[in-house]
């Protein structure tokens, strides 16, 4: 059983919990996920099973979130799961100020992840260091924010802002909530988070663990085939058994044997290699000793 699951994570489950549950339901050891969601967060958690675990790195990187940000509050974790360390009513923030502040987050930005996160420093997870009371410098990272759309604004002593965010991989929405509060002259925390798109999968098409178990018990569960999950990549079709054999052996294939239309290929980008709609792996084209070759990167056979 090789493929992907568009899993809808419910609150109070860790991403690791979900992987362990899928292993038990499907009775298979090879299960991985395509991006951690905090325990309190809900929404799309891409799951790979079988040989498809080797393809997680090639899935689309874009993600989308619906987030609720509460202003006037700061916690140790940058969300409501942590200890409150600041709480003061907010009275002078307008939607116009918020729009101006949000504009500064668009594009490529440098972000400091929350101290309570799964990032490793000196081989240890930050959240473990934080729980142990160790103070370390959190490494910054460059992330990409494509859009931030305001969905709702609820004024009050502790006003709440609901936004839709489209961003690249590695972005921490908790950090956006925290940093937005600072830009507005107060504090901010993430009060709710729903990931409604990840790795090309949409929340509307997702299934819960309960539904997965029901389908498996009924004998009707079918994972998303790798060739469907990787549709964003251009494809190279191996037209005969000999080419498939050479590919399975990890051999480089000369471009003139592939009957490409047009008979050239872009160097440097990944291609999905298929045969009769079955994904055989991932390769890229390189020029080696004057010859243009399809070079295997991941072989599934």
Catalytic residues: 38
Alpha-carbon gap, residue 88 to 69, rounded angstroms: 15
Tell me phi and psi for residue 274, to 5 degrees: -130, 165
Distance from C-alpha of 247 to C-alpha of 270, rounded to nearest angstrom: 15
| Tokens encoding 280 | 């055989």
3-class SS shares of the chain: helix, strand, coil, % to 5: 25, 40, 40
How far apart are the two ends of the chain, measured CA to CA in Å? 13
| Alpha carbon distance 179, 101 (integer Å) | 10
Place of tokens 């872009």: 266
Q: How far, in whole angstroms, is CA 9 from its chain's centroid? A: 13
Q: Token match 């930005």: residue?
A: 109
Long-range contacts of 221-226 (CB under 8 A, 24+ apart): 221/26, 222/3, 223/1, 223/2, 223/3, 223/4, 223/5, 223/49, 223/52, 224/3, 224/4, 224/5, 224/6, 225/3, 225/279, 226/2, 226/3, 226/4, 226/51, 226/52, 226/55, 226/279, 226/300
- Smallest CA-to-CA distance from 13 within 35, 43, 40 is with 40
Report the C-alpha gap between 188 and 42 in whole angstroms: 20
Question: 209-218 and 15-26 helices cross at what angle (nearest 10)?
Answer: 10
């Amino acid at each position: 059983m090789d493929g992907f699951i568009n899993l809808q994570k419910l609150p109070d489950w860790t991403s690791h919990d979900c992987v362990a549950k899928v292993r038990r339901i499907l009775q298979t050891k090879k299960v991985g996920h395509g991006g951690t969601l905090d325990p309190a967060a809900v929404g799309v958690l891409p799951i790979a099973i079988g040989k498809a675990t080797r393809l997680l790195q090639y899935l689309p990187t874009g993600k989308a979130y619906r987030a609720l940000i509460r202003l006037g509050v700061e916690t140790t974790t940058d969300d409501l799961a942590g200890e409150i360390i600041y709480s003061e009513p907010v009275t002078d923030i307008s939607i116009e100020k918020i729009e101006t502040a949000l504009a500064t987050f668009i594009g490529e930005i440098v972000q400091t992840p929350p101290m309570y996160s799964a990032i490793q420093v000196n081989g240890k997870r930050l959240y473990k260091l934080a729980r142990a009371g160790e103070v370390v410098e959190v490494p910054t990272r460059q992330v990409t924010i494509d859009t931030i759309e305001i969905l709702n604004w609820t004024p009050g002593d502790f006003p709440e802002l609901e936004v839709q965010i489209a961003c690249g991989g590695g972005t921490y929405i908790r950090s956006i909530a925290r940093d937005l509060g600072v830009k507005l002259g107060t504090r901010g925390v993430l009060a709710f988070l729903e990931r409604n798109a990840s790795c090309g999968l949409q929340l509307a098409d997702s299934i819960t663990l309960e539904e997965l178990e029901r389908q498996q018990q009924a004998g009707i569960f079918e994972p998303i085939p790798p060739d469907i999950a990787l549709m964003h990549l251009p494809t190279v079709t191996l037209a005969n058994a000999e080419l498939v054999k050479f590919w399975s052996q990890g051999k480089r294939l000369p471009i003139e044997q592939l009957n490409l239309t047009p008979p050239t290929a872009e160097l440097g980008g990944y291609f999905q290699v298929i045969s009769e709609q079955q994904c055989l792996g991932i390769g890229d084209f390189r020029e080696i000793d004057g010859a243009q070759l399809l070079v295997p990167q991941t072989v599934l056979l």
